[in-house]
């Protein structure tokens, strides 16, 4: 049932992105006096729909996109089918047609910016450490981080062209560079040192690779969230909102350190120092073995409310968030073209995106799906701006070529237009075949898809 809801969520966001994109073309065309004959979600034969005014609003058989058809569009005027009406697409000046072509991708990109903008205006929970500077609390023995020379207490102050990164920025950059060496500038005991870090490569069951580093946040305690009924934390009197600052007389500086101390207890009582409402309490608790680990039975609360009431600050946040995603996407495509990353394992089609949406829904619910929709909407907007015939970017390129030819007294022939669109149609078909084929091959060869890690930790 949960999987079914996840795939339903995919259908919802797919239709939403198509409608938003095509509505951009539609509303700008209407504002500029261009008649719209068809507004379709999907391609191919018409399934259902209705006519309102001059426009046929329809759902078509092939659910891989959508389109808006304008009166007098494409080659109709050159083939003698034009009625010469002022509301025909090619009757309007090039700048108007350019605005109509740009409007679809612009609406998708605006949606991608709007989603995090609204999220921060409403407020959302985020790890309190993601926005903090990268101060290392612990380094796993034998890890690539230890081999690079990183130590507890080091602060990473720069790498590549980035200065004073946050944990979120650092984790993102490491994740997309599984096979690269990252030059680090660190601060240790007031001195700056240069190190090189090569992330540990992890491979998902889908075949996609990502980088990881075995280092932990520096923390000043463990926040207690919800309690597991019947476990030692509840019996010892711990409450949601408590903060555990010491264990067995030692200050807690990392999650890993806290977990190791519990495991090393071998089921013997441990002493906790707990901060609660301005008071400090001493609590004795006996960890319970659960599978391979000893646990107290509570969910770590390491989140904080991120919220602003300033619309300008929220818009700046929305823009910054999407700019970061664009830069990370650029790194991935650069790796693909350089042969450092497999296009087959990195590029997903509709089936892969459907599975990703279902996994996201299972882990994070509708809030996660809406966040994913923003990411997909950004990618859809940018992809449609590529100068590929048939896509919006191809239409824009064609208009610009026409404008340049017009400057020297030339016009574009019908044969040139036909060739341009034929090439674009073939390119789009090949791209669709590639991504759908990728999805099917991954599904056949790797039926068990690894899910992203959950955000909560139970101790």
Q: Under DSSP, is residue 362 helix (H, G, I), strand (E, B) or coil?
A: helix
Instruction: List beta partners, residue 51.
Output: 56
Q: Above 80 in pLDDT, residue 267? A: yes
Q: How confident is the model at residue 293 (pLDDT cuts 50, 70, 90)?
A: confident
Residue 233: other Cβ atoms inside 10 A? 24
Question: Which range is least confidently modeled, 79-83, 161-165, 428-432?
Answer: 79-83
- Look at 428 and 29; give whichever has higher pLDDT: 29
- Look at 21 and 291; give whichever has higher pLDDT: 21
Fold of 222-291: Pdz3 Domain (2.30.42)
Q: Are 129-216 and 222-291 equal in CATH topology? A: yes
pTM of the complete model: 0.79
Token output for 177: 């560079």
pLDDT of residue 78: 44
Q: Where are the alpha helices (DSSP H) in 237-349?
A: 255-264, 311-337, 343-346
Residue 164: other Cβ atoms inside 10 A? 11
pLDDT in tens, 178-189: 878 999 999 999
User: What dotted CATH number matches 129-216?
Assistant: 2.30.42.10
Looking at every residue in the chain, the average pLDDT score rounds to: 85
Q: Above 70 in pLDDT, residue 76? A: no
Percent of the chain with pLDDT over 90: 41
Percent of the chain that is helix, strand, coil (3-state, to 5): 45, 25, 30
Domain range summary for the chain, segments of one domain joined by +:
129-216, 222-291
Q: Above 60 in pLDDT, residue 454? A: no
Instruction: Yes or no: say if 248 and 261 are a contact pair by the CB < 8 Å rule.
Output: yes
pLDDT of residue 366: 85
pLDDT in tens, 24-58: 999 999 999 999 999 999 988 999 999 998 999 99
User: Which residues, at least 6 apart from 106, have a Cβ–Cβ distance to it below 8 Å?
Assistant: 24, 381
Give exposure, 439-451, as e/b (b: 16+ Cβ within 10 Å): beebeeeeeeeee
């Amino acid at each position: 049932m949960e999987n079914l809801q996840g795939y339903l969520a995919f259908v919802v966001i797919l239709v939403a992105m198509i409608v938003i994109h095509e509505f951009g073309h539609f509303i700008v065309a209407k504002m500029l006096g261009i008649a719209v004959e068809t507004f379709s979600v999907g391609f191919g034969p018409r399934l259902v729909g209705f006519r309102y005014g001059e426009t046929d609003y329809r759902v078509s058989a092939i659910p891989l996109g959508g389109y808006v058809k304008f009166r007098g569009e494409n080659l109709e005027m050159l083939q003698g089918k034009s009625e010469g009406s002022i509301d025909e697409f090619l009757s309007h000046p090039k700048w108007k047609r350019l605005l109509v072509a740009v409007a679809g991708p612009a609406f998708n990109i605006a949606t991608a910016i709007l989603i995090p903008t609204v999220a921060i205006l409403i407020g959302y929970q985020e790890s309190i450490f993601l926005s903090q500077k990268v101060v290392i609390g612990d380094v796993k023995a034998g890890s690539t981080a230890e081999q690079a020379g990183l130590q507890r207490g080091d602060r990473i102050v720069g790498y590549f062209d980035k200065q004073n990164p946050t944990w979120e920025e650092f984790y993102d950059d490491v994740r997309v560079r599984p096979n690269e060496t990252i030059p680090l500038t660190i601060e240790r005991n007031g001195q700056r040192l240069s190190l090189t870090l090569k992330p540990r490569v992890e491979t998902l069951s889908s075949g996609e690779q990502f980088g990881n580093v075995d280092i932990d946040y520096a923390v000043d305690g463990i926040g207690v969230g919800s309690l597991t009924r019947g476990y030692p934390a509840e019996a010892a009197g711990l409450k949601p909102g408590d903060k555990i600052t010491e264990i067995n007389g030692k200050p807690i500086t990392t999650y890993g350190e806290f977990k190791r101390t519990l495991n090393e207890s071998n089921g013997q009582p441990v002493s906790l120092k707990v901060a609660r409402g301005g008071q400090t309490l001493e609590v004795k608790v006996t960890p319970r073995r659960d599978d391979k680990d000893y646990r107290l039975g509570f969910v770590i609360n390491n989140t904080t409310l991120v919220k602003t009431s300033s619309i300008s600050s929220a818009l700046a946040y929305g823009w910054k968030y999407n700019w970061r995603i664009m830069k990370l996407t650029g790194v991935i495509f650069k790796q693909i073209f350089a042969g450092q990353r497999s296009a087959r394992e990195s590029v997903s089609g509709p089936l892969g995106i459907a599975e990703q949406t279902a996994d996201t829904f299972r882990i994070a619910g509708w809030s996660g799906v809406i966040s994913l929709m923003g990411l997909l909407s950004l990618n859809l907007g940018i992809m449609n701006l590529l100068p590929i015939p048939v896509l919006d970017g191809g239409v824009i390129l064609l208009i610009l070529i026409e404008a340049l030819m017009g400057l020297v007294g030339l016009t574009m022939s019908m044969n040139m237009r036909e060739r341009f669109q034929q090439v674009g149609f073939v390119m789009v078909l090949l791209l669709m075949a590639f991504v759908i084929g990728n999805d099917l091959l991954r599904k056949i060869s790797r039926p068990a898809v690894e899910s992203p890690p959950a955000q909560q930790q139970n101790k």
